[in-house]
Amino acid sequence: MDIKEIHSPADIKGLSLNDLEDVARQFREALLFKLSHHGGHVGPNLGMVEATIAMHYVFNSPVDKIVYDVSHQSYVHKMLTGRVDGFIDPEKFDTISGYTNPNESSHDFFTIGHTSTSITLASGLARARDLRGDKENIIAVIGDGSLSGGQAFEGLDSAAVLGSNFIIVVNDNQMSIAENHGGIYENLQLLRDTDGQAPCNLFKAFGIDYMYVKEGNNIEALINAFKQVKDIDHPIVVHINTQKGKGYGPAEIDREKWHWEMPFDRLTGNPLQIDESEDYSSITGDYLIKAMGRDPLVVAITAGTPTVMGFDAERRRHAGRQFIDMGIAEQDAVSTASGLAKGGARPFFGVYSSFIQRAYDQLSQDVAINGNPAVFGIFAPGITGMNDVTHLGWFDIPLISNIPGIIYLTPTCKEEYLAMLDWAMNQHETPVAIRMPGGRVVSAPDRTFPDDYSSPRAEIVRQGSKVAIIGVGDFFPMALKAADILAESGINATVINPRYVSGLDKEVLENLKKDHTLVVTLESGILDGGYGQKIDGFYADYDSVKVLNYGVPKQFLDRYNVSEVLTELRLKPQLIADDIKNQFK
């Protein structure tokens, strides 16, 4: 049958094995069609075509409930549940998200984008089913590196004693995003090598029944396996051995690169657009490689996403044991950094803004209370960061800057970033986090920067009067532009680079009281709990200075247009200048 005619899983239930395999071929073609034009998760979805078909052939979604970990591998599930248009009709590509989403379909149970949560979320559904007295199958699908996150183990541990139906499909494609790291991957290898028969079995050690499917891209084998576990009365792991990137040559070979890709030429695998511009990832990688050469105690840490901090395969090889990939395990990464710093090493942990959220307690307890001088690079923060609701970079300023004892720096350009990074990596007094500026790299070779950032010294870049504009990080250039526009109207604004959002330069703020009546803050993140509210607090008991805060109101947005949002929030130089002029009318 033509996949265009698939509107629900019921449409494939009567098909022969040959027909199912033909459907798989069409799905793979649809995946490559959309992914080559649109970009997205390539390898994970190509590897799960057969398993997804087999699950929907055997189980009765949405009565039976399938929960996908990270849900970046749910594209075939989407095609099987009425959303095939989102893959084969370019005009509808953007009608579906890259993750499961209950607003899209009753076959999706959670909006998910962070790793290692599926077992827990699904076990909640199973427990609710048991309380209701119902009998449907509950299935969690996890793998592709996300088994290393602590919550996945917590989930295995607690699910083991459920005492009722629960099926955990472990998608073992022998990969994380980069290489796999950690002891459990040795056990998965042992289980693959012994056809699932090795007595030392991670899942059984967690108290869970176990079944192995050697041919994880064979629909018939998978259907047989799922039929065996359907309606089972206890938790079981179905360990399926899949091939990441299956069916597309380049993705089968370079599995790390093809985890996620921008639009590409299907024939060559080459990206359609090559962005040769510098980014903070490569700037960071370059700095750290040089620092490692000078000092054997410098060490770079990633939690499964090495390229965000510039550690491609070449730099990883070069760094040797001065580079550590913890696997996707941010808690472990943060506390390891604390331990390394305590032991005299100079650790730098590079992490997406959205993922540092997973280690708030470790930042607070293991790092800040202990005062160990680890350095944290926060990547893709702010409004220009990632725009999926599960990957927003809006929360890191409230998260980090309100923990006592961590300095959170906000460089405005490449040179300032390097000055701050160099200071942070060479001091031994305090934990430091550095927020990468968003958007394109701004270079300001003519500005000079201090070599000490241990106290909140703001930089008065332009001294004016009446109004002061404080531009945080990558919004600093916007402050300058707004001031330029104001100058045309005869308003000579002071422009301030705060450098530091975890505390206030009280001297500078106090001085503003003399000849300023308006202070404006611009930050690329949420207003609640953010930097602007610290400024509000400073002037709260003083009635001659008003403050205007620009940033994101407390909300979640999904797949937003950056420019539209900035306009709506009046985060454009002209709009800011207009607002300021209105204040002086």
Q: Which of 299, 432, 478, 491 binds its own copies (CB under 8 A)?
A: 299
Report if residue 387 touches its own copies, rule: CB under 8 A.
Answer: no
Report if residue 560 touches its own copies, rule: CB under 8 A.
Answer: no
Q: Which of 3, 202, 486, 493 binds its own copies (CB under 8 A)?
A: 202
Q: Which of 98, 155, 247, 385 binds its own copies (CB under 8 A)?
A: 155
Q: Give CA separation, 254 vs 174, 221, 258, 259, in Å.
A: 13, 27, 6, 9
For the CB of residue 326, give the shortest distance to its own copies in the complex, in Å: 5
Report if residue 429 touches its own copies, rule: CB under 8 A.
Answer: no
Q: Which of 358, 414, 435, 499 binds its own copies (CB under 8 A)?
A: 358
Instruction: Kindly report the number of other CB atoms within 10 A of residue 530's CB atom.
Output: 27
Nearest residue to 388 via CA among 16, 26, 109, 40: 40
* Residue 24 or 326 having the CB closest to its own copies: 326
Phi-psi region of 462 (alpha: psi -120 to 50; beta: other; left: phi over 0): beta
For the CB of residue 76, give the shortest distance to its own copies in the complex, in Å: 23
Which DSSP letter does residue 567 get?
Answer: H
Q: Which of 52, 61, 338, 353 binds its own copies (CB under 8 A)?
A: 338
- Distance between CA 283 and CA 523 in Å, rounded? 23
Q: Which of 192, 360, 458, 513 binds its own copies (CB under 8 A)?
A: 360
Report if residue 318 touches its own copies, rule: CB under 8 A.
Answer: no
Helix H or strand E segment including 496: strand 494-497
Residue type (1 letter), 326: M
Q: Which of 2, 5, 91, 321 binds its own copies (CB under 8 A)?
A: 321
Report if residue 288 touches its own copies, rule: CB under 8 A.
Answer: no
Of 522-551, which residues contact its own copies (CB under 8 A)? 526-530, 532-537, 539-549
For the CB of residue 293, give the shortest distance to its own copies in the complex, in Å: 14
DSSP 311-369: --HHHHHHHGGGEEE--S-HHHHHHHHHHHHHTT-EEEEEEEHHHHGGGHHHIIIIIII
Q: Which of 204, 447, 466, 572 binds its own copies (CB under 8 A)?
A: 204
Report if residue 426 touches its own copies, rule: CB under 8 A.
Answer: no
For the CB of residue 285, give the shortest distance to its own copies in the complex, in Å: 19
- Distance between CA 277 and CA 554 in Å, rounded? 33
Q: Which of 192, 342, 447, 572 binds its own copies (CB under 8 A)?
A: 342
Report if residue 470 touches its own copies, rule: CB under 8 A.
Answer: no
Report if residue 424 touches its own copies, rule: CB under 8 A.
Answer: no
Task: Give the residue carrying structure tokens 């600093």.
Answer: 476
* Residue 205 or 272 having the CB closest to its own copies: 205
Answer yes or no: are the C-beta atoms of 303 and 330 closer than 8 Å. yes
Percent helix, strand and coil across the chain, each to the nearest 5: 45, 15, 40
Nearest residue to 31 via CA among 50, 9, 13: 50
Nearest residue to 288 via CA among 304, 274, 270, 302: 302
Tell me the residue ranges of DSSP E strands in 422-484: 432-435, 459-462, 466-471
For the CB of residue 68, give the shortest distance to its own copies in the complex, in Å: 14
* Residue 63 or 272 having the CB closest to its own copies: 63
Cα radius of gyration rounded to whole Å, the chain: 26
Report if residue 206 touches its own copies, rule: CB under 8 A.
Answer: yes
For the CB of residue 32, give the shortest distance to its own copies in the complex, in Å: 30
Tokens at 512, concatenated = 């503003």
- Distance between CA 534 and CA 551 in Å, rounded? 13
Q: Which of 18, 131, 429, 564 binds its own copies (CB under 8 A)?
A: 131
- Distance between CA 547 and CA 569 in Å, rounded? 16
* Residue 185 or 226 having the CB closest to its own copies: 185
Which x/- pattern, by CB under 8 A, does the window 480-519 give for its own copies? Answer: -----------------------x----------------
For 56-83, what is the HEC assignment?
A: HHHCCCCCCEEEECCCCCCHHHHHHCCC
For the CB of residue 541, give the shortest distance to its own copies in the complex, in Å: 5
Tokens at 83, concatenated = 């959303």
Of 165-184, which residues contact its own copies (CB under 8 A)? 181-184
Give the N- to C-terminal CA distance of the chain in Å, as an integer. Answer: 69
Report if residue 467 touches its own copies, rule: CB under 8 A.
Answer: no
Q: Which of 125, 407, 467, 576 binds its own copies (CB under 8 A)?
A: 125
Q: Give CA separation, 540 vs 174, 286, 301, 534, 545, in Å.
A: 56, 44, 41, 10, 9
For the CB of residue 431, give the shortest distance to its own copies in the complex, in Å: 13
For the CB of residue 502, give the shortest distance to its own copies in the complex, in Å: 8
For the CB of residue 578, give the shortest distance to its own copies in the complex, in Å: 15
Residue type (1 letter), 527: L
Report if residue 14 touches its own copies, rule: CB under 8 A.
Answer: no
Q: Which of 170, 240, 337, 576 binds its own copies (CB under 8 A)?
A: 337
Q: Which residues of 295-304 are buried (b: 16+ CB within 10 A; e: fewer)?
A: eeebbbbbbb
Of 215-274, which residues contact its own copies (CB under 8 A)? none
* Residue 246 or 534 having the CB closest to its own copies: 534
- Distance between CA 110 and CA 113 in Å, rounded? 10
- Distance between CA 409 and CA 397 in Å, rounded? 10
Q: Which of 8, 60, 187, 492 binds its own copies (CB under 8 A)?
A: 187
Which x/- pattern, by CB under 8 A, does the window 74-113 give for its own copies? Answer: ----------------------------x------xxxxx
Report if residue 345 touches its own copies, rule: CB under 8 A.
Answer: yes
For the CB of residue 266, give the shortest distance to its own copies in the complex, in Å: 34
